[in-house]
């Protein structure tokens, strides 16, 4: 297993465009998390899934953001009508239920111009 994989690693988009990121968790992990990290800050929680169910969403996750995990394996995070304030590193992590300590992917760095 190669760990948590995120694609793409970098994305530059024009303001107003939609973007979609993908995360492939460690195969046996049933929990998947999305975090956002801006420069000089720690990661901030966005949402998490247990299998295909989205169990919690942060207030940071505006209605322009949507996340899915349709088959309980990979997940996608879509941002519609991107704004410059969306520029950040988007991190995905996975874990097993009952085990703490996520394994993070390398992240997708989004730049909105």
Q: How many CB atoms lie within 10 A of CB 104?
A: 16
Name residues contacting other proteins, limited to 49-78 (CB under 8 A). 56, 58-60
Judged by beta carbon, residue 15 or residue 96, the one nearer other proteins is 96
109 binding other proteins? (CB under 8 A): yes
> According to CB under 8 A, which one of 21, 48, 49, 65 is a site residue for other proteins?
48
Smallest distance, Å, CB 108 to other proteins?
10
The residues with which 45 forms a beta bridge, in sequence order, are: 35
Task: Please give the DSSP secondary-structure letter assigned to residue 39.
Answer: T
Encoded tokens for 17: 């465009």
User: How far is the C-alpha of 30 from the C-alpha of 40, rounded, in Å?
Assistant: 30
> According to CB under 8 A, which one of 91, 94, 110, 112 is a site residue for other proteins?
91
Smallest distance, Å, CB 78 to other proteins?
20
* 84 touches 12 (CB < 8 A): no
93 binding other proteins? (CB under 8 A): yes
Which residues, 6 or more positions from 99, have their beta carbon under 8 angstroms from its beta carbon? none
Residues contributing to the site for other proteins (CB under 8 A): 4, 6, 33, 40-45, 48, 56, 58-60, 91, 93, 97-98, 100-107, 109
């Amino acid at each position: 297993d190669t760990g948590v994989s995120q694609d793409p690693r970098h994305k530059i988009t024009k303001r107003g465009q939609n973007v979609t990121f993908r995360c492939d968790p460690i195969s046996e992990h049933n929990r998947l998390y999305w975090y956002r990290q801006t420069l000089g800050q720690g990661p901030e929680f966005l949402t998490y899934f247990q299998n295909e169910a989205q169990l919690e969403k942060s207030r940071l996750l505006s209605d322009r953001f949507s996340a899915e995990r349709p088959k309980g394996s990979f997940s996608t995070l879509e941002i519609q009508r991107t704004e410059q304030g969306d520029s950040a590193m988007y991190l995905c992590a996975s874990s097993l239920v009952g085990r703490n300590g996520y394994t993070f992917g390398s992240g997708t760095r989004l730049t909105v111009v």
